[in-house]
Amino acid sequence: MSAPLLELSDLLGPKGLQATDDPQVAPWLQDWRGRYRGRPLAVASPEDHDQVQATLAWSRRHGIPVVPQGGNTGLVGGATPDTSGGQLLLSLRRLCRHLTIDADNQTVCVDAGCTLQQLQEAANAAGWLFPLSLGSESQCTVGGVLATNAGGVQVLHYGTARDLCLGLAAVLADGSSFSQLGGLRKDNTGYDLRHLLIGSEGTLGVITRATLKLFPRPARVITAWLQLESLEAAVHLFRLARQALSDVLTACEVMGPEALNVVLEQMPERLSALPDTRGWHLLIDISLPSWAGEGDGAIEWLHAQLEAGRLRRALVAQDLRQAQALWAIRAAIPPAQSRDGLNVKHDIALPVSALPRFHTACAHALESLVPGARPVVFGHLGDGNLHYNVRAPRGESPADFRARHEGTVNRCVHDLVTAHGGSISAEHGIGSLKADALAHYKAPAALAAMRSIKRALDPLGLLNPGKVLVPD
């Protein structure tokens, strides 16, 4: 072991530093999708804020880059070291000792290494709701959720991770410490470093603890599956639902026909709850407080939409088991796509009103570019976030399709997203995967400002190098 690593081992203790040939760390060296695989110098696993601070101070002394990692569930290669063997992988998994609920302030203060599921369960046990929900919640960590500004299925009502965070503790690139954990809802004392760190993907600092909002648990949740003719009809119905149901509409997921086709082909058992998979589909949650009773008004509204011909069919879950079965269909789309083979993935955001126009234009453009290519469209209609993945034409190898067409398909989709006023990254982040695309589509003035911020907070470029910003 080199002298710098011996020094770091002394700082972190016997469990704080692992060699890269340790079988335990092998899964941490490859990203969630298996697209990136790194070879770090070593893996550091500090157990508290002070040890993170000591690690980054050590990094600065020796000029050794650091790649922060939470649960390693990201989808853009943002937490994977490069293959040089010169970067330290900084795992935050051991930072999971502290979780304290302040019921009067309706907040929870939690270490960055706690999983999202641990946080949800602790809040629930105390009679509260932490609403951020992701498919990877059993593994993703609080720090990773904040570093990527994760979204999930309830952004419509509760907002993104940024909206849920009232304070942070973090360590900056030079080893200095920043702490603002009081849980204030109002604080106008200058620039807000909290919001700068959220969504920065570990390139500006390492989040070690956070104070997050808690919410009352709904007394009842009505889950309904709605079948419609088109995406235009889905957008129109969503507007009507917001006007009629207001803030009790807490989730509104959309699924196109090809998304359900993939599930039908790869995981048909998940679709047993549906009598018909044709057309476009919405999955909605209506979360009711105790004073709203059984939600008769919401049910009556759904009946009125059927009678008005705005819906082909509406299926209202009669109990928790049926509601879970409906949500399981939505959750099956990503794993069904994995079973189907490689495809070209996009995580995009648009104004809700622009979604139908974008989809029509993009489907036509893709057909001209790669005849037979099949858009797999699903996502969070309520906040305009679509997972717009493109599947190989029938009969073509998925691997060959991605190898031959990924670049041109990406440019086609991203050009049209930009033309319709959207974003090429809604909730997955930039990481390594989209760094070049960000450089292409982001306004030059915005990129210049981002580079200035990076230089100010990390002048040596030691924090997660090569992620988000392409090197100068």
pLDDT at 471: 85
Assign 234 a pLDDT band (cuts: 50, 70, 90).
Answer: very high
Q: Residue 275 pLDDT more than 80?
A: no
In the chain, where the domains are located:
3-91, 99-216, 218-339, 341-428
Q: What are phi and psi of 178, to 5 degrees?
A: -130, 130
Q: Which overall architecture, per CATH, does domain 341-428 show?
A: 2-Layer Sandwich (3.30)
Residue 276 pLDDT: 83
pLDDT of residue 292: 81
Q: Which two tokens stand for residue 185?
A: 């809802």
pLDDT of residue 286: 97
100-124 pLDDT, tens digit per residue, is 999 999 999 999 999 999 999 999 9
- Identify the weakest region by mean pLDDT among 147-156, 177-186, 289-298: 289-298
Q: What percent of the chain has pLDDT over 70?
A: 100
The residues near 293 (Cβ < 8 Å, ≥ 6 apart) are none
Query: How far apart are alpha carbons 27 and 260 in whole angstroms?
Result: 31
pLDDT at 245: 94
**Structure confidence at residue 124 (pLDDT):** 97
pLDDT at residue 444 greater than cutoff 80: yes
Identify the CATH number of the domain defined by range 3-91. 3.30.43.10
Classify domain 99-216 by CATH number.
3.30.465.10
Q: In this structure, which CATH number among 3.30.70.2190, 3.40.50.720, 3.40.50.2000, 3.40.1000.10 belongs to the domain 218-339?
A: 3.30.70.2190
> Looking at residue 1, what is its pLDDT?
78
The answer to whether 95 and 208 are in contact (CB under 8 A) is yes
At 117 the pLDDT is 97
Average pLDDT, the chain: 96
pTM, to two decimals? 0.94
Question: Which pLDDT score, from 0 to 100, does residue 290 have?
Answer: 85
Please compute the mean of the pLDDT values over residues 264-282 and round it to a whole number: 90
Q: What is the rounded CA–CA span in Å between residue 412 and residue 96?
A: 43
Residue 118's pLDDT is what?
Answer: 98
Q: Indicate if the pLDDT at residue 293 is higher than 90.
A: no
pLDDT 10s digits, 326-336: 999 999 999 99
